A and B are shown apart, each in its own frame.
Chain A
């Protein structure tokens, strides 16, 4: 099992959600650092939030994530592959994501859960930076190939309950970022620091085109094709408020992108 910052993997091992006999230290294998639109996957969130060359949306997403201690250890590559905070999944209920018949959150307590893509599994993806990178049209470079970040993620299906398209053993090495004209990340959470997003809205403007990524609203980071797509959300009884928040934050994000 590959180990980078360990902020994700170590708790998963402690909780019995990941089993590993051997941990392989990635520090020598995965690049770390920032240069001309390329980010090493081993770069920490703390490094990204402080670097003036990083687009605003990603800096704000990193700064709004976790705590300073976690951001000093956690890497951007690992952050993109975080497991959901869904308590049913974390407590090993035999849920859809664990290969079971049904999603326990849908009929259970699901206030932190999804409003999009939630038909089979209502979990919410916890990464703030992933939504930012989605808005930025980042490219993922692995040890085998390069592809748009949007293609890193997939909704679970009956045949494959995984949430990413990585092949076994495939490692994210770098991310390529186009430079937007303006970008912003807005985040709603249960307290003012150190909480996963209830709703995160990442927006980046490239000329006349704007891309929007949402965090915390679907089992995967959610690319919002248009503002109207919010009308097609499928909130659960306990997540309807997330749609209200998204509707409030989206115009604010777009307003922040308008040329002065």
Chain B
């Protein structure tokens, strides 16, 4: 039965309270541990299609008469168009339509960042469109760009008001401390650089606009595009069958979709707007840079008395200020906490959600700070963390729906015990060391989300829901959940997703929410179908429903009877069993979070500044694990992306003009396979007893969160150098080593220097 409730909804750490219609979640959770299909490692059910090139991505969509769009982008960070003459562009060969500022809300004559869209062309080929744009006659009036985030805050250039969160009395907490560490940490701008560039194909079919798009949220695109175009939402169909990564940068339609839609409307033909790799590096969002001025205090027994953070997020020309202070508020049982977050508005490309936005950056600062404080108190970093364990949410006193971080720490102990052995590997200029860092994040998902199931005479089940698999393996996980509930082998379950026209509403795939939002809906739909199968079987075999269940493709009775499920479904002929399910409510009055700890082993060449990550152990608590194979692949991906963030990736701007200097993959240095260390994944795999019929949380974001701090702490362990700035490039590593040498020689000086 549907219920109207008032509930908190969370996406990427943003909470809103709203009325919501939810269905009851009447199912009991499965027993903990690996089941028949759920909890068993499953290769991706679409792996072969992907490997064979049969999977259809947005980049593969070819429609008859399709035109190709190219976008004229501002070469300047801050400028005003004084002249835009598109006469020669319009007359160029193959050009079908040209739009400029005023023709679409995403085109601007006063761009505020390098790469802002100004005009667009639809032509017979992409090459013709690009050549036509080169003929545009453009004059600019330039202004000095605002690039310094601290200066922006001082001038009041902000994307939003400062967020201040406070508990206890921070000054008292600092004064009660026996040791205080104050330090400034900085993190750089990094880019998503998804394998599949941002793109959309818009095609009018009758009075319906079909949008083929690489997206993390089919329904969000549908509603945004409908609103922008003044269409009823059901006149917009959104399709995303396969998707090549988004990491938060594809949560909304993006300007390319609006450009393609407007050009399609004007030409009456399908239009593709696909960004180039250069455009990916300019104008599709980024993880914003941060400046973090932090302080932590603790008593000599290791009790944290104060955590204070002033965070400046360098947002860009537009965007939102992520919760960089979130980890400081949530991770430790500290009574006195004060967090201030500023979002600086700058003449730089806008930020976008990027895999645990805010928390990745904030965890780097916080978890390095905690290690520096532990060192000052001469406490073991793991012991120090356990001593300040938060048993409930201190932000508002709510209990956690589940928290097994202590179990993560316990499992970390045997790995942590290796550190003497690791340090002993040091030889010549190579210094070895170990570090760890904890992780907290959201990832509980929420309603609404729906799924349908249909079962035909052949006893194959099809899950139908208009969700998207963004490359994380959601398709396989949903099939496993349905197979488990229906007692069917995995290969008898199909998943039909990726099309708003053929399935019910489904959650965004962001905020580690796909499994916890969609999984319970799929299970509920499967349970609905199972109930109907059992009803029919009970009548067929003259047994009570309560003695029947489904297992291994059979209907089994409590007294030992067993019949292939086809015996029942065969009775359907052309009929179908239809199940429907919905995601139930989140537990009321509880905080649902994910937790974990990572341990890094590194080697540093103290002469050349080379940092080598040798091994990372990732231990996370995300409730029940649906597919251990898929889960370990999520963990590995997060860690590899985290290593890039830590060591080599940085979007660089010219400090005078604000022009993006790193536009290609030789300049913007993602890690390669040679940079990938040994990765050990351990998942606690205990269902969250309060969270849905599955007890599963999301795992997309947690693994990237602690990686940079774990590596930085390992570097400090190996070398004594405080690395406080990402990326830890050669120059940053050598700078930190020099600073450490100078500090220790300064300390030595008063003893040796003659009195004068």
Contacts and interface: CB of A to CB of B under 8 A. Distances in A.
Interface of A: 85, 87-88, 90-91, 104, 107-109, 111, 188, 190-196, 198, 238, 240-241, 244-245, 248-249
Given A108-B656, A241-B609, A192 B730 contact: no
B330 to A, nearest CB: 33
A104 B654 contact: yes
B730 A188 contact: yes
A42 to B, nearest CB: 24
Interface string B670-707: 01111100000000000000000000000000000000
Given A91-B663, A107-B656, A188-B608, A245 B730 contact: yes
Interface string B644-670: 000110001111100101111011010
B161 interface: no
B731 interface: yes
A87 to B, nearest CB: 4
A191 B661 contact: no
Given A188-B610, A245-B609, A193 B672 contact: yes
Given A87-B661, A198-B730, A244-B734, 12 more contacts: A104-B654, A188-B609, A190-B669, A191-B669, A192-B674, A195-B669, A196-B666, A238-B731, A241-B730, A241-B734, A244-B607, A248-B605
B729 interface: yes
A87 B667 contact: yes
Contacts of A90: 664, 667
B299 interface: no
Contacts of B669: 190-191, 195
Contacts of A193: 672-675
Interface residues of B, number: 32
Given A85-B666, A241-B735, A190 B729 contact: yes
A112 to B, nearest CB: 8
A111 B655 CA distance: 13
A109 B654 contact: yes
Given A87-B661, A91-B659, A249-B608, A191 B647 contact: yes
B232 interface: no
B654 A191 contact: no
A111 B729 contact: yes
Of B609, B656, B661, B735, the most chain A CB neighbours within 10 A belong to: B661
B570 interface: no
A54 B249 CA distance: 48
Contacts of A88: 654, 661
A19 B734 CA distance: 41
A196 B666 CA distance: 8
A156 B730 CA distance: 29
Nearest to B647: A191
B656 A87 contact: no
B160 to A, nearest CB: 29
A191 B671 contact: yes
Given A108-B655, A109-B652, A245 B608 contact: yes
A91 B661 contact: yes
A191 B675 contact: yes
Nearest to B610: A188
A194 B673 CA distance: 10
Contacts of A196: 666
Nearest to A196: B666
Interface string B581-623: 0000000000000000000000001011110100000000000
A238 B730 CA distance: 11
B429 interface: yes
Contacts of A188: 608-610, 730
A244 B741 CA distance: 14
Nearest to A112: B667
B608 A109 contact: no
A192 B731 contact: no
Contact of A190 (B648, B656, B659, B673): B648
Contacts of A240: 731
B106 to A, nearest CB: 24
Nearest to B670: A191
A248 B667 contact: no
Nearest to B653: A109
A240 B669 CA distance: 21
Contacts of A191: 647-648, 669, 671-672, 674-675
Contacts of A245: 607-609, 730, 734
Contacts of B648: 190-191
A248 B666 contact: no
A232 to B, nearest CB: 21
Contacts of A248: 429, 605, 607-608
The 4 A-B pairs with the shortest beta carbon distances in the complex, nearest first, are: A248-B607, A241-B731, A87-B661, A192-B674
A40 B320 CA distance: 57
A104 B656 CA distance: 10
A87 B662 CA distance: 7
